C-alpha cells in the first residue's frame, strides 16, 4: 500500500515538473571571460549571464506570472572563471570577483577590517540561504537605489571592471561604479554584450574607517526602508576628531544610489560635534529626495530616518578611525547576530 502511494506521488511530482515553464535551452560554463563574451555574441541577445541567479530567477518568475513567459536560448555561468570567486587585496586595492557571494564578503577578515561598511551591508541582505548564493555584482547589476551592498560600494568609491566583445583580449576597463546606474532597475551595462567582471576600491588605512546602517521592514521580507554608508578619515585633536575627508551614500533617496556631495563638502575640515551634526543633517535633508513607497514606507517616515542614520554611521566610523580598532556589527536582517572586535587594522 505504501509503495503504491509513493509511486503515485512520484508521478504527480513528475507531472508538475513537466508543466513548469522552461526558461532556457542551454547552460554553459565558460573557462574565461573571452569565452563568455563569444557565447553572448553567438546568441545575439538571446542569452544571459548568471552567477548566483537569485535576481534573474525572480525576474523569470515575475514575468511568467504576468503572462509573458521569458525564454532564453542560453544561460552563461561565469562562476568557473579563474578569479571570479575570489577576494584579493593589497595596500592599493581590494578586488572582488563577479562570483563572490555576500556570505564570502561577510566572512572575509580583509573586508571586515579594511572595508567594514561592505561587510555590514552584505550581512543584512536577505536570509542566509540568499546570502550563500547571491553575488555582490549581481546585486549591483540589478541597479536598485536601495541595494545595501551598492550603498557601501558607493561610499568606498568603488570601480567596476567591464568587459565587452569590442574590448575582448585588450587591457582592463575600469569605470566609476556610479556610471552604471541610469534609474531604478536600469543598469547602463548591456547584459547581452557586456559583463561586469570585478569590483575594486581602496582599502581604509590609518585614521580611516567606514560604517553602514539601515532600517528595514521586519515582517520577514527584508525590504530596506532606508540605508546609509559612509567612509571617512579623521585628524586627531586631543579628545575631538576633525573630519579630513568623507564620503556618504544614502538610498533610496533618488532614482539611483545617491552620494551626498553637499553634506560631504560641509563636513570636510569640521570638528565632529552636535553643532556640526545638526548642520550636516539640514544639508542632507535638503539634497535628499525620498519618496513614498507602497511596499516600504512613506516619504515623511523616511525623512525622519535620515538624521538618525547619519548620526549612527558617522559616529561609528569616527570611533573606529580614532581608535584604530574595528568593531564589526554583523546583523541578521537588522537584528543583532554577531559582533566581533578586530585590532589588526593598518596603523
Tally of residues, the chain: 347
Q: How many other β-carbons are positioned within 10 Å of the β-carbon of residue 176?
A: 11
Average pLDDT over residues 285-296: 85
Q: Say which residue the cell 513528475 belongs to.
A: 14
At 61 the pLDDT is: 67
The CATH number of the domain covering residues in 208-342: 3.30.390.50
Instruction: Give residue 316's Cα distance to chain centre.
Output: 20
At 185 the pLDDT is: 87
Radius of gyration for the alpha carbons in the chain, expressed in angstroms and rounded:
22
Task: Choose between 323 and 274: higher pLDDT.
Answer: 274
Q: What percent of the chain has pLDDT over 70?
A: 81
The CATH number of the domain covering residues in 87-201: 3.30.465.10
Confirm or reject CATH 3.30.43.10 for domain 21-77, answering yes or no.
yes
95 grid coordinates: 578586488
pLDDT higher than 60, residue 5: no
199-254 confidence digits (pLDDT tens)? 999 999 999 999 999 987 665 556 778 999 999 999 876 678 999 999 999 989 98
pLDDT higher than 90, residue 179: yes
Query: pLDDT band for position 128 (50/70/90)?
Result: confident
At 240 the pLDDT is: 83
Task: Choose between 173 and 2: higher pLDDT.
Answer: 173
271 grid coordinates: 570638528
Q: How many other β-carbons are positioned within 10 Å of the β-carbon of residue 44?
A: 10
Whole-Å CA distances, 15 to 1, 8, 270: 21, 11, 67
Contact 178, 143 (CB under 8 A): no
As a whole number of angstroms, the distance between CA 180 and CA 195 comes to 12
pTM: 0.86
233 grid coordinates: 578619515
Domain-wise residue ranges, the chain: 21-77, 87-201, 208-342
46-75 confidence digits (pLDDT tens)? 999 999 888 777 776 666 666 666 678 999
At 237 the pLDDT is: 66
Distance, first Cα to last Cα, the chain: 72
Strand pairing category for 72-77 and 47-50: parallel
337: nearest Cα among 194, 124, 36, 116: 124
Whole-Å CA distances, 331 to 128, 210, 245, 336: 11, 16, 27, 5
264-286 confidence digits (pLDDT tens)? 999 999 999 999 999 999 999 99
pLDDT higher than 80, residue 114: yes
Contact 268, 244 (CB under 8 A): yes
Q: What percent of the chain has pLDDT over 90?
A: 58
Amino acid at each position: 500500500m505504501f509503495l503504491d502511494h509513493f509511486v503515485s506521488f512520484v508521478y504527480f511530482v513528475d507531472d508538475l515538473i513537466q508543466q513548469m515553464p522552461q526558461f532556457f535551452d542551454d547552460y554553459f560554463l565558460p573557462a574565461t571571460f573571452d569565452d563568455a563574451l563569444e557565447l553572448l555574441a553567438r546568441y545575439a541577445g538571446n542569452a544571459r549571464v548568471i552567477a548566483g541567479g537569485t535576481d534573474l530567477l525572480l525576474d523569470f518568475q515575475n514575468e511568467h506570472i504576468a503572462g509573458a513567459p521569458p525564454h532564453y536560448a542560453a544561460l552563461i555561468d561565469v562562476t568557473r572563471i579563474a578569479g571570479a570567486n575570489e577576494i584579493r587585496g593589497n595596500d592599493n586595492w581590494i578586488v572582488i570577483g563577479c562570483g563572490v557571494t555576500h556570505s564570502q564578503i561577510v566572512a572575509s577578515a580583509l573586508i571586515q577590517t579594511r572595508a567594514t561598511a561592505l561587510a555590514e551591508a552584505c550581512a543584512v541582505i536577505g536570509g542566509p540561504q540568499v546570502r550563500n548564493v547571491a553575488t555582490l555584482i549581481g546585486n549591483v547589476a540589478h541597479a536598485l537605489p536601495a541595494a545595501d551592498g551598492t550603498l557601501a560600494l558607493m561610499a568606498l568609491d568603488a570601480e567596476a571592471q567591464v568587459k565587452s566583445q569590442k574590448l575582448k583580449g585588450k587591457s582592463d576597463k575600469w569605470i566609476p561604479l556610479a556610471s552604471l546606474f541610469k534609474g531604478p532597475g536600469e543598469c547602463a551595462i548591456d547584459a547581452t554584450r557586456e559583463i561586469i567582471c570585478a569590483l575594486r576600491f581602496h582599502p581604509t588605512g590609518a585614521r580611516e574607517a567606514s560604517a553602514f546602517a539601515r532600517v528595514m521592514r521586519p515582517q520577514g521580507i527584508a525590504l530596506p526602508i532606508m540605508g546609509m554608508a559612509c567612509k571617512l578619515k579623521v585628524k586627531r585633536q586631543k579628545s575631538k576628531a576633525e573630519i579630513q575627508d568623507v564620503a556618504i551614500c544614502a538610498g533610496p533617496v533618488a532614482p539611483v544610489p545617491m552620494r551626498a556631495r553637499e553634506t560631504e563638502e560641509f563636513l570636510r575640515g569640521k570638528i565632529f560635534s552636535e553643532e556640526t551634526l545638526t548642520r550636516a543633517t539640514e544639508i542632507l535633508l535638503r539634497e535628499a529626495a525620498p519618496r513614498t513607497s507602497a511596499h516600504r514606507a512613506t516619504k515623511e517616515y523616511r525623512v525622519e530616518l535620515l538624521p538618525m542614520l547619519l548620526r549612527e554611521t558617522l559616529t561609528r566610523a569616527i570611533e573606529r578611525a580614532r581608535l584604530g580598532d574595528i568593531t564589526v556589527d554583523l546583523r541578521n536582517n537588522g537584528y543583532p547576530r554577531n559582533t566581533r572586535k578586530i585590532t589588526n587594522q593598518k596603523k
